[in-house]
Chain A
Amino acid sequence: MSIDLNKPNEGNGGASSQSASNSSGPNYNDPNSSAEVREIFRFTYECKQKKMPDYQIEQSLMNRGLDPSQVASVMRIVNQAYNQSQASQQTDDSSGSGGGGIPRVVYYIGILVLINVLSAIFDWGFWIY
């Protein structure tokens, strides 16, 4: 199987997290990439969304005929897109106060105060770290 994984990267370094979260990776919407490459990125991204372990995804890609360097390349790109998508979702969900929710910093401060109070109640003892 001969796949040019470099092709979909050209001129498309930063797909938005919005497009990534709509079950598309950073490259396979590129009209210049082949259907085969798009399918590989789509498959890999869906595996990530299903929380499949990386090593199982890598094995699946190898079974599809990719060599280890191609697998590493696909995983790197998809992981980057997936992490961006997750970070963007978290930001939308809980950071700042623009969305009307409680800002994340308030949670942090609340938790910090709580564990400090508990620690004082427990005579500054040990926790299972």
Chain B
Amino acid sequence: MDLLNRKGIPWLEKLPDLLLGLSLMSWAVAGIVQSWAEVSALIPVRLSLATLQVMVGMLIMLRPAAHEQGSAQAILLSLPSFIASGFLFRLAQPLAAWPFACKWVFAGSVLWVMAAFWSLRGSFAILPARRATVRTGLYRLVRHPAYLGEYVMACACAYAGASTWTWIYLAALLPLLVLRIRQEEALLMHDAAYATYKQSTRWRLLPGVW
């Protein structure tokens, strides 16, 4: 209970984060149960994904309140990229049929994303919101390392799915991600620390490209 009340946040205000965090953890369990019969689906894709979901759930439950929330417009413009990856993963079923390389590229990307989230910790947010600026770990290389890792996860799904639709979704995901990054950065630039960070870490997603 102390965690929920830290920095004076009433526990009731933390309830949405608590429920969302528990939802993510339940998805991890549901995914493992679904793939339990097939070891080739469970390892490494489902297990790595479940670990990521548990971590995201924990981060959401434990994070402090944001200094500033994004506008309704920023949130709406960020949502399509959030959902597009779900379609990609669905189209890439069954997991057991994935090529060996795809499985391990996916799992490696999950580790990359988790490393980025570990650097974020209390500054983690799914929708645009302003919290403390993080410039350590993978955030020294690019300003959005988690999105980079998640896009590689999407690439693994698209390759494994190997249908026209998976490639269409993968191609559509990139501009949606760019849109989301622009919305987030417009908000984060309200903080002088982020403006300084932007000058020191030039690249947003891929060093040398963008």
Q: Which A positions have Cβ atoms within 8 angstroms of B?
A: 51, 53-55, 58, 108, 112, 115-116, 118-129
Q: Please report B residues at the A interface, Cβ cutoff 8 Å.
A: 15-16, 19-20, 23, 26-28, 30-31, 34, 49, 52-53, 56, 81-90, 93, 113, 117, 126, 146-147, 150, 153-154, 173, 177, 180, 189-192, 195
Q: Tell me the complex Cα distance, A129–B126, Å.
A: 5
Task: Given contact pairs A54-B191, A112-B20, A123-B93, enumerate 14 new A-B contacts (beta carbons under 8 Å).
Answer: A53-B190, A55-B195, A116-B23, A121-B86, A123-B31, A124-B28, A124-B34, A124-B49, A125-B89, A126-B52, A127-B83, A127-B86, A128-B147, A128-B154
Given A108-B16, A112-B19, A119-B86, verify A124-B191 contact (CB < 8 Å). no
B115 → A minimal CB distance (Å): 14
Report the minimum CB–CB distance from B107 to chain A (whole Å): 12
- The smallest beta-carbon distance between A90 and chain B, in angstroms, is 9
Nearest B residue (CB) for A52? B190
A62 to chain B, nearest CB (A): 12
How far is A112 from B89 in the complex, measured between Cα atoms in Å?
20
- Smallest beta-carbon distance B186→chain A, Å: 10
Assess whether A125 is in contact with B189, with CB atoms less than 8 Å apart: no
Can you report 26 residue pairs joining A to B where beta carbons are below 8 Å apart?
A54-B191, A58-B192, A112-B16, A116-B26, A118-B83, A118-B86, A119-B23, A120-B30, A121-B86, A122-B86, A122-B90, A123-B90, A124-B27, A124-B34, A124-B49, A125-B49, A125-B86, A126-B49, A126-B86, A126-B89, A127-B82, A127-B126, A128-B177, A129-B82, A129-B113, A129-B126
